[in-house]
Amino acid sequence: MLLECNGLVKKYMSKTAVDNLTLNIERGKIYALLGPNGSGKTTFMKIAAGLVKPNSGSITFCGNPIGVESKKRVAYMSTEPFFYNYMTIDDVGKYYQDFFEDFDMKRYDVLLERMELNKRDHAKALSSGLAAKLKIAATLARKSELYMLDEPLNGIDIISRERVMTTILETAGDENTIIISSHLVDELEKVVDNAVFVKKGGIVLEGSAEQLRESHNKSMVELYKEIYA
Ligand SMILES: Nc1ncnc2c1ncn2[C@@H]1O[C@H](COP(=O)(O)OP(=O)(O)OP(=O)(O)O)[C@@H](O)[C@H]1O
């Protein structure tokens, strides 16, 4: 198992963001992490990325606790901006290269081309959609075993979304694992292997997307509406 979580709890003061979450993530699969605003998706990803410590429960990556070693092998893309105002797109690549041993500049160049981004442009001058594409390019340029992308399609126009999703899947490769959180269930439905429905910090439904569709005789969009309406 790539990631094993047992009874994870994370509280922010009196607010329980992740509540007794138990989940196994398998290698080589694509996961949709689904749930309404405030359901705990980001907090879970931050725990798995080693940025937030759970109050209780356990989480391991390849059998070892989350820490310095796992951080080298896990690429996490947050919803927050990550570059400084002075940076060009070229600088963003160099900055990432300094931070991450697995960052591949050639791969970054290919991704920039796919995303129609120019290395000389200033990151702060990009439209929100282009800035979203830059974040994806920088994250995917790492040769990681687990990619966790928090709302990667936010701000990206409907025409580009399919191309961006294809780029994500092709770049990550079949042997690696992707967890994508999104509200755009219909966009994910076409591409994911597994779906995890989160509500109030816990998992309410989880499994292979195909099996969930078959056993409930509903699309993921219909299931989503049923669970959260
Ligand atoms: N740093 C923080 N301090 C206090 N409360 C927080 C903090 N981060 C998250 N929370 C709270 O924890 C809960 C879960 O938040 P989280 O961001 O994990 O949800 P989410 O499912 O990712 O939501 P969204 O879809 O809106 O991004 C929310 O109620 C949120 O207000």
The residue type at 189:
E
- Please indicate, yes or no, if residue 131 is contained in any of the structural domains: no
Q: Alpha-carbon Rg of the chain, whole angstroms?
A: 17
The CB of 38 under 6 Å from ligand 1? The reply is: yes
From 39, 51, 151, 188, give the residue whose CB has the most ligand 1 atoms within 8 Å, as the site to mutate. 39
Q: CB-based burial of residue 82 (10 Å sphere; 0-12 exposed, 13-18 middle, 19+ buried)?
A: middle
Tell me if 46 is assigned to some domain.
Answer: yes
* pLDDT given at position 81: 78
Whether residue 97 is contained in a domain is answered as no
DSSP string, 86-123: T-BHHHHHHHHHHH-TTB-HHHHHHHHHHTT--TTSBG
Query: Using alpha carbons only, what angle is made at residue 213 by residues 149 and 29, rounded to the nearest 5 degrees?
Result: 35
Q: Is residue 102 part of a domain?
A: no
Pocket test for ligand 1, best of 8, 10, 11, 12 (most atoms within 8 A of CB): 12
> What pLDDT was estimated at residue 49?
97
Answer whether 51 contacts ligand 1 (Cβ < 6 A): no
Asked whether residue 93 is assigned to any structural domain, the reply reads no
Q: For the whole prediction, is pTM greater than 0.90?
A: yes
Per-residue pLDDT of the chain (229 residues; tens, 9 = 90+): 999 999 999 999 999 999 999 999 999 999 999 999 999 999 999 999 999 999 999 999 999 999 999 999 999 999 987 788 899 999 999 999 999 999 999 999 999 999 999 999 999 999 999 999 999 999 999 999 999 999 999 999 999 999 999 999 999 988 999 999 998 898 899 899 999 999 999 999 999 999 999 999 999 999 999 999 8
Which residue puts its alpha carbon closest to atom 27 of ligand 1?
37
So what's the pLDDT on residue 85? 82
Tokens linked to 2: 């790539």
Which domain covers residue 178, as residue numbers? Answer: 3-83+148-228
Which pLDDT value is given to residue 84?
Answer: 85
Quick check: is 205 in a domain?
yes
CA 20 to chain centre: 21
Q: Ligand 1 within 6 A of 35 CB?
A: yes
Measured in Å, residue 145 CA sits from the centre of ligand 1 at: 26
What's 16's domain CATH number?
A: 3.40.50.300
Residue 211 to residues 92, 186, 208: CA-CA distances in angstroms?
41, 17, 5
Token digits of residue 17: 């963001």
Determine the distance separating the centroid of ligand 1 and the alpha carbon of 114, expressed in angstroms.
32
Instruction: Give CA–CA dist 220/201, Å, rounded.
Output: 20
Q: Which of 13, 18, 21, 37 to mutate to test the pocket of ligand 1 (most atoms within 8 A of CB)?
A: 37
- Which ipTM did the prediction report? 0.96
Q: Let me know if residue 161 belongs to a domain.
A: yes
When divided into structural domains, the chain yields a total of: 1
Q: 120 in a domain, yes or no?
A: no
